[in-house]
Amino acid sequence: MKPWRVAFFEQNSAANGNIEDDIKDFVVNAFHKAQRDALWKNSGTRLDTWHVSDFVSPCLRKSHYSKIPELKTAMNDEMAAILFQGVIVHDNVILGSINELTMCYDIEKRENIDPSTVKAMEKDDPRKKDILTGTLDDLLRIGDEYVIADKKTYNARGYVKKEASPEHILQVNIYKLMLKYSYGIEANYGCNLYLDKGDGYKELPMVYKTAPIEETQKFLETTLKSFKDGIPDPTITFLCNGKNKDKKIYCNFLEQCEKDGREKFV
Please give the residue ranges that form the binding site for ligand SF4 (CB under 6 A).
59, 61-62, 65, 234-236, 239-240, 251, 253-254, 257, 262
- Taking the C-alpha atoms of residue 243 and residue 80, their distance in angstroms, rounded to an integer, is 22
- No. of helices (H) and no. of strands (E), the chain: 9, 7
CB of residue 239 vs ligand SF4: minimum separation in angstroms? 4
Which of residues 160 and 266 has its CB atom nearest to ligand SF4 in the complex?
266
Which of residues 157 and 259 has its CB atom nearest to ligand SF4 in the complex?
259
Rounded to the nearest 5 degrees, what angle is found at the Cα of 182, between the Cα atoms of 206 and 222?
70
Which of residues 224 and 251 has its CB atom nearest to ligand SF4 in the complex?
251
Contact 238, 250 (CB under 8 A): yes
> Which residues on neighbouring strands pair with residue 101, listed in sequence order?
136
Which of residues 76 and 92 has its CB atom nearest to ligand SF4 in the complex?
76
> Which residues on neighbouring strands pair with residue 112, listed in sequence order?
105
CB of residue 64 vs ligand SF4: minimum separation in angstroms? 8
Which of residues 7 and 236 has its CB atom nearest to ligand SF4 in the complex?
236
Contact 113, 104 (CB under 8 A): yes
Please state at what angle helix 3-13 crosses helix 19-42, rounded to 10 degrees: 170
CB of residue 260 vs ligand SF4: minimum separation in angstroms? 8
- Name the CA radius of gyration of the chain, rounded: 20
Which of residues 75 and 254 has its CB atom nearest to ligand SF4 in the complex?
254
CB of residue 243 vs ligand SF4: minimum separation in angstroms? 12
CB of residue 148 vs ligand SF4: minimum separation in angstroms? 27
CB of residue 67 vs ligand SF4: minimum separation in angstroms? 12
- Which has the closest alpha carbon to 168: 202, 221, 215, 205? 205
Which of residues 199 and 233 has its CB atom nearest to ligand SF4 in the complex?
233
Which of residues 168 and 262 has its CB atom nearest to ligand SF4 in the complex?
262
Pairing of strands 131-142, 145-154: antiparallel
H or E, element range at 56:
helix 52-56
Q: What is the SS3 assignment for 186-242?
A: CCCEEEEEEEEHHHCCEEEEEEEECCCHHHHHHHHHHHHHHHHCCCCCCCCCCCCCC
CB of residue 264 vs ligand SF4: minimum separation in angstroms? 11
CB of residue 212 vs ligand SF4: minimum separation in angstroms? 29
